[in-house]
């Protein structure tokens, strides 16, 4: 292994205050990298491709908590529904309903986050704040008994300008508070704010993140 996964992991963990969890983003990295992080005690890993995830799930320890962090097509939900711990990037009611349906078939409740589109980049997925408000207001999600909405997820713009990153994350934080107040005030499970990646997780921690998703800083550059 040409990368000091264990040392890098320890560094990232040392930066995280209590109450902020690390999702180690292992997409495109081999099992031995994940095993190194696992040996250090890391148990939450994030992947963004269904087939790659399936192969890893089959061969890696069973007590790993897998989070799906990428864009998820509705026709793929059935494959991950039996085992996925959290689906982080739900950006439509259609996807939410499909997750509910597949979770029901597996007799389980799947935790999800709603993905916000706040970054300026066109290519990013996610719900605009208004689309998210609309989805929650319409209320159909309340009937879905096999999904549990645990919070919000977002990616800030990939820019150098820290003040831009900070203002996007603060927008997400304030929006979280709005949604919490309006829809989830009595629901303790709605508590997660998933923002912060390798280049911006220290800012995310300052902006109320409860869950950072860090890949490159731990595992090195991805080979696609």
Binding site for ligand PLP (CB under 6 A): 25, 27, 48, 69-70, 155, 197-198, 213-217
Name the residue with the smallest CB distance to ligand PLP. Answer: 215
Q: What is the nearest approach in angstroms of ligand PLP to the Cβ of residue 64?
A: 17
Least Cβ distance, residue 181 to ligand PLP (angstroms): 26
Please identify, using beta-carbon distances, which residue of 28 and 184 lies nearer to ligand PLP. Answer: 28
Shortest gap between Cβ of 108 and ligand PLP (angstroms)? 23
The least CB distance from residue 182 to ligand PLP, in Å, is 26
Question: Of the two residues 88 and 102, which places its CB atom closer to ligand PLP in the complex?
Answer: 88
Nearest-approach distance from CB 137 to ligand PLP, in angstroms:
26
Angle at 222 between CA 219 and CA 224, to 5 degrees: 155
Contact present, 144 and 96 (Cβ < 8 Å) = yes
The conformational region for residue 139 under phi > 0 = left, psi -120 to 50 = alpha, else beta, is left
Q: Supply the Cα-derived Rg of the chain in whole angstroms.
A: 17
The continuous run of DSSP H or E covering 97 comes out as: helix 93-105
Smallest gap from residue 171 Cβ to ligand PLP (A): 18
Nearer to ligand PLP, 33 or 144 (CB): 33
Query: Residue 203 or 214: which CB sits closer to ligand PLP?
Result: 214
CA distance from start to end of the chain: 17
Are 12 and 214 in contact by the 8 Å Cβ rule? The answer is yes
Judged by beta carbon, residue 144 or residue 218, the one nearer ligand PLP is 218
Cα-based torsion angle of the residue sequence 148, 155, 170, 220 in order, rounded to the nearest 10 degrees: 110
Q: Is the CB of 100 or the CB of 200 nearer to ligand PLP?
A: 200
CA 70/CA 219 separation, integer angstroms: 18
Q: How far apart are CA 172 and CA 188, in angstroms?
A: 19
């Amino acid at each position: 292994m040409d990368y000091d996964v264990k040392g890098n992991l320890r560094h990232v963990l040392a930066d995280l205050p209590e109450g902020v969890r690390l999702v180690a983003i292992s997409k495109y990295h081999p099992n031995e990298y994940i095993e190194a992080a696992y040996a250090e005690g890391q148990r939450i890993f994030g992947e963004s491709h269904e087939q790659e995830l399936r192969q890893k799930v089959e061969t890696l320890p069973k007590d790993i908590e897998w989070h799906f962090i990428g864009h998820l097509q509705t026709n793929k939900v059935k494959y991950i529904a039996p085992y996925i711990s959290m689906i982080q990037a739900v950006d439509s009611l259609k996807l939410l309903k499909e997750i509910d349906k597949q979770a029901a078939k597996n007799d389980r409740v799947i935790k999800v986050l709603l993905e916000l589109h706040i970054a300026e980049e066109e290519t990013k997925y996610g719900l605009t704040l208004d689309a998210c408000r609309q989805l929650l207001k319409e209320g159909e999600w309340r009937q879905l008994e096999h999904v549990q909405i645990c919070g919000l997820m977002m990616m800030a713009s990939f820019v150098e300008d820290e003040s831009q990153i900070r203002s996007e994350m603060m927008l997400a934080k304030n929006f979280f508070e709005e949604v919490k107040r309006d829809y989830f005030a009595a629901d303790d499970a709605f508590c997660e704010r998933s923002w912060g990646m390798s280049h911006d997780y220290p800012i995310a921690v300052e902006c109320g993140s409860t869950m950072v998703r860090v890949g490159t800083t731990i595992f090195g550059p991805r080979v696609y």
